[in-house]
């Protein structure tokens, strides 16, 4: 009886231009590479090099065709800019090994303190009489349909703090929608933001790809929060935004 083995799940999704035909070519290429490593025969090496050149050309053509179709079919300016930004700005190099998590934490904490100390004490401002007589005493609970709309409208970015991937949560949301609605409504009606939703995973990113990655001042912190926390934030934002707009409390600027 064969022994059951496990393998880790893929951390990143496959390339969108990688078709079934290219996958078959890649399988043949890897088989040719193993054959050459085992035999060390020059003929096997030439065959491997020929397959590698063909595979590289096919991948390049497929990638070019994919981005041409994507840019030609995209009408959303924001999505189009994101596509060009991905192509023109490759991922930055990893941070220097000497820049540990403790070093980043100390630097960013001190930076916030330094910025706060530059502000002078606020002057006494005479409060004007309120122009709106209505007030918000509590948030309104949401229906299952409203919660489902919020879940599916959010971009499924996954944080390491999420118990399951965001795209999977969206896929199974119809089955667990009553529980999700209960979590959000309980938070809205009690005025309590769950403690687990207050946690974030901070990642240091280079401000510009061309900057020196060994200089800590060239980094900025980016916080990733759980997917459900973003959903709850959007529920609160929608109600506050509607109240401010309806009562004309938004400043013109």
63 compared with 185, residue with greater pLDDT: 185
Identify the band that residue 185 occupies on the pLDDT scale cut at 50, 70 and 90: very high
Nearest Cα neighbor of 29 from 5, 45, 7, 13 is 45
Domain membership of residue 212 as a residue range: 101-114+134-246
Number of domains making up the chain: 2
Check whether residue 226 and residue 188 sit in a common domain: yes
> Is residue 65 one of the residues assigned to a domain?
yes
The total of other beta-carbon atoms located within 10 Å of residue 59's CB is 17
Q: 3-class DSSP state for residue 222?
A: strand
Digit-coded pLDDT (tens) for 103-137: 888 998 898 889 888 887 777 666 555 566 777 78
Check whether residue 73 and residue 108 sit in a common domain: no
Residues 22 and 126: their CA atoms lie apart, in Å, by 70
User: Across the chain, what does the average pLDDT equal?
Assistant: 84
Chain-centre distance for alpha carbon 187 = 24
Which residues lie below 8 Å from residue 187, measured CB to CB, with a gap of 6+? 193, 194, 232
Digit-coded pLDDT (tens) for 71-102: 888 788 888 887 777 777 666 666 556 788 88
> Is residue 96 one of the residues assigned to a domain?
no
Predicted pLDDT at 11 = 52
Kindly state the tokens that stand for 144: 């299952």
DSSP label at residue 195: G
Averaged pLDDT, 14-36: 87
């Amino acid at each position: 009886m064969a022994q059951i083995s496990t393998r880790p799940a893929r951390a990143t999704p496959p390339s969108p231009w990688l078709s079934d035909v290219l996958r078959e070519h890649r399988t043949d290429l890897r088989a040719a590479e193993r054959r050459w490593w085992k035999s060390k025969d020059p003929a096997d090496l030439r065959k491997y090099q020929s397959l590698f050149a063909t595979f590289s050309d096919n991948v390049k053509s497929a990638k070019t065709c994919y981005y041409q179709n994507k840019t030609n079919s995209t009408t959303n300016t924001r999505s189009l800019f994101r596509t060009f930004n991905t192509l023109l700005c490759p991922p930055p190099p990893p941070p220097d090994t000497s820049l540990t998590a403790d070093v980043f934490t100390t630097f960013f904490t001190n930076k916030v303190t330094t910025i706060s100390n530059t502000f002078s004490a606020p002057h006494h401002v005479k409060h004007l009489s309120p122009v709106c007589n209505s007030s918000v005493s509590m948030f309104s609970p949401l229906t299952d349909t409203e919660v489902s709309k919020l879940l599916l409208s959010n971009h499924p970015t996954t944080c390491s703090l999420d118990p399951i991937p965001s795209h999977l949560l969206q896929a199974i949301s119809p089955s667990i929608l009553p529980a999700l609605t209960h979590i959000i409504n309980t938070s809205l009606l009690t005025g309590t933001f769950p403690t687990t939703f207050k946690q974030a995973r901070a990642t240091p990113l280079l401000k510009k790809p061309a900057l020196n990655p060994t200089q800590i001042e060239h980094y900025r912190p980016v916080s990733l929060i759980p997917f459900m926390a973003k959903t709850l934030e959007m529920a609160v934002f929608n109600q506050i935004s509607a109240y401010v707009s309806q009562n004309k409390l938004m400043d013109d600027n």
